[in-house]
Chain A
Amino acid sequence: MNTVVEAKNLSFQYDTVPLLKDVNFRIYEGDFMGIVGPNGSAKSTLVKLLLGILKPQQGTIFLMGQPIEVFQQWNEIGYISQRVRSFNASFPATVEEIIAANLYHEMGFLKFLRKKHHEEIERVLEVVDMGDYKKRLIGTLSGGQQQRIFIARTLISNPKIIFMDEPLVGVDVASQEKFYTLMEKLNKQLGITLIMVSHDLGVITEHTSRVACVGNQQVFVHSSKTFNEEQYIKSVYGEKTKLLLHRH
């Protein structure tokens, strides 16, 4: 299996507060990795470090085998941040304009959209099942629909890896189901490596292939099949914690 992301002896602190200490792990091509951990455990920080948005005090990150400092193929990396849907709801931009923005490097000096770009936009909208929404204003869509548009925006640059930071916050349950169906399609059919931060432990272990637990300045990676949810919750919230399993 090819390693597409690797953290080697990674340490990071905000001011004097250490968040990650000598962390080592690998993410392989085709993985669907969930990143879980209690609030403030540095899940988002870890993603930002892996994307080079934050710089570690110590250690190295490798993307597609290259140290992040010299990595150039950023078009192969997609990122859907936690704040992606925090834009001004009356922003006058159509779905097409938002997706086209991610073709910045493909458009040449004058940044004109050509026929092939329009076809690409239609293709990614079909992938996320939003083909009829090209001319709609982004602010008029529901939370779940907006999330699909931002996935389409990421897909337009044909990424090999997509990082997502809590993509389902504020998205209703029905849309969450659709989201995971789409993720399966991207992961299994298109072969895209997915890395997703989530606080929803039950759902994430059900859908992902591996789980990275972040906490106590460390990162531990497990296979989702062997991941013991109850044991993990007790280790985070204390031995007296009990899981209340129920169905809605």
Chain B
Amino acid sequence: MYMPEILSYGFMQRAFIAGVMVALICPTIGIFIVLRRLSMIGDTLSHVALAGVAAGMLGGIYPIYSALVFSILAAFGIEKLRKAYQDYAELSIAIILSTGIGLATILISMGSGNAAIFSYLFGSIALVSSRDVLFVMILSIFILVSTILLYRGLFYITFDEEAAGLSGVPVKWLNHYFIVLIAVTIAVAMRIVGILLVSSLMVVPVATSLQLAKSFKSAWLYSMVFGLLAVLIGLTLSFYGDLAPGGTIVISGVVILMVTIFLKSIIKKKEVSSSGMSITNSLSK
């Protein structure tokens, strides 16, 4: 049976399996982040995850485990600080972001594995192990099932938190659970996309889907389709060009966004000119 060269390598098969999962979960969480205007949370938690990776390498622990623990703790830290600074919600994010970067810098300078850190920063396809794939699969299924089950509540909170609370949606509990889902998504996605670009994969496919969406459900589905396209194209480019996959995936996503905006503007112009024509025709009659 014919198999493209790219899929004949075990490491590429693993990268594609993990990549597809990441392509589904990042926009799934991203759509709620974007619509709640919380894009900075993704960046913050991924910087804390970097400190977790460095700590794991220093302590001889599987770095993704330590990144997961660090980002979940940071997620709760943000929630806790938000209560202390109720009128300056973004301050809690800035404090955790600074802590994450500071801690990561110290821990990285204490260690000697800078090349390995580099692979976590920008993503890697050659280094995705079977253990990574298993970890990504289990947690991705957990994230997808959680989001599908909690979709109605998350949607209502995203649109109108006050009304959601009054209609019986457990707002506080869902907010806590959601921020843990963001932290888990970052830990899952960082092996492929890299810590610095995780939040981009959460945001860019969503931005593209918002150009076309005719409902919330369609925005979610389109964002997953655009995420998948970006990951598949990005991984292929990464393989043939020997480039870091994080960069190729995100840039593929941005190109898809630009093409979508361009095509949409052409269609809109055509619609305007054809409706203008029909008005002129009816007037001339």
Contacts and interface: CB of A to CB of B under 8 A. Distances in A.
Interface of A: 51, 53, 74-75, 77, 79, 81, 83-84, 87-88, 90-94, 96-98, 100-102, 104-105, 107, 110-111, 135, 137, 153, 157
Nearest to B212: A92
B100 interface: no
Contacts of A135: 214-215
Contacts of B152: 100-101, 104, 107, 111
Contacts of A153: 163
A58 B169 CA distance: 28
A94 B35 contact: no
Q: Closest 8 interchain pairs by CB?
A: A92-B213, A111-B152, A101-B156, A92-B219, A94-B215, A93-B216, A105-B168, A102-B167
Given A104-B152, A111-B149, A111-B152, A75 B159 contact: no
B164 interface: yes
Interface residues of B, number: 26
B168 A104 contact: yes
28 contacts: A51-B166, A75-B168, A79-B162, A79-B163, A79-B166, A88-B35, A91-B35, A91-B159, A92-B210, A92-B213, A92-B214, A92-B218, A93-B215, A97-B155, A97-B216, A98-B159, A101-B152, A101-B155, A101-B163, A102-B163, A104-B152, A104-B153, A105-B168, A111-B151, A111-B152, A137-B214, A153-B163, A157-B167
- Select the residue from B153, B168, B209 with max chain A CB neighbours within 10 A: B168
B160 A94 contact: no
B169 A110 contact: no
A7 B74 CA distance: 43
B217 interface: yes
Contacts of A102: 156, 163, 167
B159 A74 contact: no
Nearest to B206: A92
- Select the residue from B159, B164, B210 with max chain A CB neighbours within 10 A: B159
Contact of A77 (B151, B153, B166, B215): B166
Contact of A75 (B163, B167, B218): B167
Nearest to A138: B159
A101 B159 CA distance: 9
Contacts of A97: 155, 215-217
B160 A87 contact: yes
Contact of B149 (A88, A94, A110): A110
